[in-house]
Amino acid sequence: MEDVLAYIGIGSNLGDARANCLQAAKRLAKADSRLKIRLSSLYLTEPQELKAQGWYVNAAAEVKSPLSAQDIFRLLHHIEDEMGREREARYGPRIIDLDLLFYDDMVLDTGELIIPHPRLHERRFVLVPLCELSPDFEHPVLKKRVCDLLKEVPENGQRVLRIEVEN
């Protein structure tokens, strides 16, 4: 199979959230030597649906891969499980959250896997790191570039602050 471009959302707000996000990206890179990964900057982001929790650290990863969408989805769940992800409260605190956002221009809904991610166009914590990686990537359903989708999402209640990384 020819390599495709996939985009992964990465987030954490439990423990050392910054280290958790970086660890998840490392695990993804080590899971299959054929994966070529480019990671965005890290961002401190305001929680959304469930406000009474700590802020998140979020990032996005661009992945060139020969794997199918379903294989990437299973790999992401495997990494979450390895890192101790517990699926208790929806939108609640989590040690790691890995979401398959885009898989080339695929549109898919299996019930378990929906591509593109159904709410990414409403979330600054997803769009800001995506715009850093690929501002001109076009949402295959909405037919808008991710940088244009970001302009449509109000900042109010969705603060996203770039984290400076020490050398």
Phi, psi of 87 (to 5 degrees): -100, 80
Summarize the confidence of residues 88-117 as an average pLDDT: 92
Phi, psi of 71 (to 5 degrees): -65, -40
Distance CA(156)–CA(56), nearest Å, equals 16
Distance CA(83)–CA(16), nearest Å, equals 12
Distance CA(157)–CA(58), nearest Å, equals 16
Catalytic residues: 85, 94, 97, 99
pLDDT number for residue 53: 82
Q: 10 vs 2, 45, 143, 162, CA distance in Å?
A: 25, 12, 24, 14
**Cβ–Cβ under 8 Å, residues 58 and 43:** yes
- Secondary structure letter of residue 8 according to DSSP: E
pLDDT number for residue 166: 60
Other CB atoms within 10 Å distance of the CB of residue 78? 13
pLDDT number for residue 2: 86
What does CATH list as the number for 4-162? 3.30.70.560
Label the pairing between strands 114-115 and 97-103. Answer: unpaired
Distance CA(33)–CA(51), nearest Å, equals 38
**Cβ–Cβ under 8 Å, residues 139 and 122:** no
Residues 114-154 have pLDDT tens digits of 999 999 999 999 999 999 999 999 999 999 999 999 999 99
Check whether 73 has a pLDDT greater than 60: yes
CA angle, residues 2, 96, 62, in degrees to nearest 5:
30
How confident is the prediction for the chain on average, in pLDDT?
93
Summarize the confidence of residues 78-82 as an average pLDDT: 96
Residues 29-66 have pLDDT tens digits of 999 999 999 999 999 999 887 777 889 999 999 999 99
